Structures are given as C-alpha cells and as structure tokens.
C-alpha cells in the first residue's frame, strides 16, 4: 500500500529565515505530487504540482519554490520567510493520467514570527 | 476559473441527527471528491463521483452528484461524534486535469 510522509510536523521560524519542507511517497512510482497551503478563512490553495522529476508547475506567484529531485520526493523551499507564509502545508500525490484521487500527507504547521 | 461553494460553513447537530452538506460549482464538474479533515491533520479521502446522478455510500455517509454535474451533496445519517471535523469538496478543473480546486470546507460539530 502507498503511504505519504511529511516532515517536520511543526515548525516555528523567524522572518527572513530559510525554509525546507519535505514530502516523500512510498509504494508507488511516477506519481503526480502537489503542495497545498491551508490558511484560516482561505481554504486549500494549490501552490505547486509536479508530473515528473524536475517538472514543476507554479500556481501562485509567491515567496516559495518547489523541487522534485527524485521520483517520490517533493520539497518546498523559501530563501527568506515572510509572516504571510505561516499556515498549514499539505503534500498530496495521485497516480498519473489525470482525474485520479489525490491522497494527502499529515501536513506541516508553519508559524513565522 | 472554477469555484466551489460549500454550505453551510459550519453545522452543529445533536448526536443521532441526520445532516446534509452541499457543494455547488460555477462550472460542470469533472470528478467531484469529498474529503474529511480533523483539525491539524491531513485530508482523508471519502468518495469520488463522476457521472451525473451518481450516488455512493460508505457506512453512514452518502454522496450524490446531480444530473447536471454542478452540485453535490454529502448526507450523514444518524450522526456520531466521530463524524465531527471539516468536510471539503474538491473538483477537477477540466476533463483529464491533474489539478483540483477545493471549497472552503464545512465544519461539523456533533454534540453527544
């Protein structure tokens, strides 16, 4: 069976510091991978998605970037965090081919002070 | 762009009562997904609907997609405290798309 991991579970960072959140999927190959942010009152916002190694699509211009160095690894980064980057970050995966269910990781709670 | 409107935003019911949550789209739905989220946790997949008029059930939860494929409802029968959480609907933005858009969620509280 497939599992998806995210770490860290929680993170408190000062403004201007760098960020690296990691997501890994087990039990499947060549998945689509997604990064979402969930902020209070704003729902679930798609940030990036990837259909393969090195292929990243950005949905919203922002202070963040994503990379996919390996087939089942997805990383969310920032060089300098802003207060507005605080939120709950969720990684998800789906099988290739479109219209397939997305399965979510446990999430990372990021607080920028 | 496609938007999903969920209603109500929040719902408080007594244990044992039935309830319905709605999800309405501004465009035709190419796949409608229902998820449940407990606070501070990831989303748990419940059901996926694709065809107009389709209905699926899992335990005491039933989801329906209308014939025009622009509205879905989630019905819980004889609610229990374990049903409490946030329910989100998500939809493919177009046929064959890898991307989903989500509603803002409905917060359900079930009082014992």
Note whether B33 contacts A: Cβ–Cβ < 8 A. Answer: yes
On chain A, the residues whose CB falls within 8 A of the CB of B43 are: 44, 90, 92, 104
B59: which residues sit within 8 A by CB, 6+ positions away?
A: none
Indicate the residue of A44, A99, A109 with minimum beta-carbon distance to B102: A44
pLDDT for residue B3:
86
Tell me the pLDDT tens digit for each residue of A17-50.
999 999 999 999 999 999 999 987 778 999 999 9
Which residue in A44, A50, A74 has the most chain B C-beta atoms within 10 A of its own C-beta, making it the best mutation to test that interface?
A44
Stretch A11-21: mean pLDDT: 97
Q: Residue A66 above 80 pLDDT?
A: yes
CA B87 from centroid of its chain's CA atoms:
6
Beta carbons within 10 angstroms of residue B33's beta carbon: 24
A51, B102: Cβ pair inside 8 Å? no
Stretch A57-83: mean pLDDT: 92
pLDDT band at A99; cut points 50, 70, 90 = low
Rounded percentage of chain A residues whose pLDDT exceeds 70: 97
Tell me the pLDDT tens digit for each residue of B9-63.
999 999 999 999 999 998 888 889 999 999 889 999 999 998 889 999 989 999 9
**3-class secondary structure per residue, chain B:** CCCEEEECCEEEEECCCCEEEEEEECCCCCCEEEEEECCCCCEEEEEEECCCCCEEEECCEEEEECCCCCEEEEEECCCCHHHCEEEEEEEECCCCCCCEEECCCEEEEEEC
pLDDT for residue B27:
86
pLDDT for residue B95:
60
Tell me the pLDDT tens digit for each residue of B72-105.
999 999 999 999 999 999 998 776 567 889 999 9
pLDDT for residue A98:
61
């Amino acid at each position: 069976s497939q599992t998806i991991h995210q770490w860290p579970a929680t993170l408190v960072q000062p403004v201007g510091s760098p960020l690296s959140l990691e997501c890994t999927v087990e039990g499947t190959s060549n998945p689509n991978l997604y990064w979402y942010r969930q902020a209070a009152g704003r729902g679930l916002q798609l940030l990036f998605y990837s259909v393969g190694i090195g292929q990243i699509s950005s949905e919203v211009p922002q202070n963040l970037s994503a990379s996919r160095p390996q087939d089942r690894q997805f990383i969310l980064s920032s060089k300098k965090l802003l207060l507005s980057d605080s939120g709950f970050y969720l990684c998800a995966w789906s099988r290739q081919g479109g219209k397939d269910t997305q399965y979510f990781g446990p999430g990372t709670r990021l607080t920028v002070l | 762009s496609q938007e999903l409107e969920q209603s109500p935003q929040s719902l408080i019911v007594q244990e044992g009562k039935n309830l319905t949550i709605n999800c309405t789209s501004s465009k035709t739905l190419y796949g409608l997904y229902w998820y449940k989220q407990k606070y501070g946790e990831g989303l748990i997949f419940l059901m996926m609907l694709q065809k107009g008029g389709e209905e699926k059930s899992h335990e005491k939860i039933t989801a329906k997609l209308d014939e025009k494929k622009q509205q879905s409802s989630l019905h819980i029968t004889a609610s229990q405290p374990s049903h409490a959480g946030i329910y989100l609907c998500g939809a493919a933005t177009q046929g064959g798309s890898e991307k989903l858009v989500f509603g803002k969620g409905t917060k359900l509280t079930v009082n014992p």
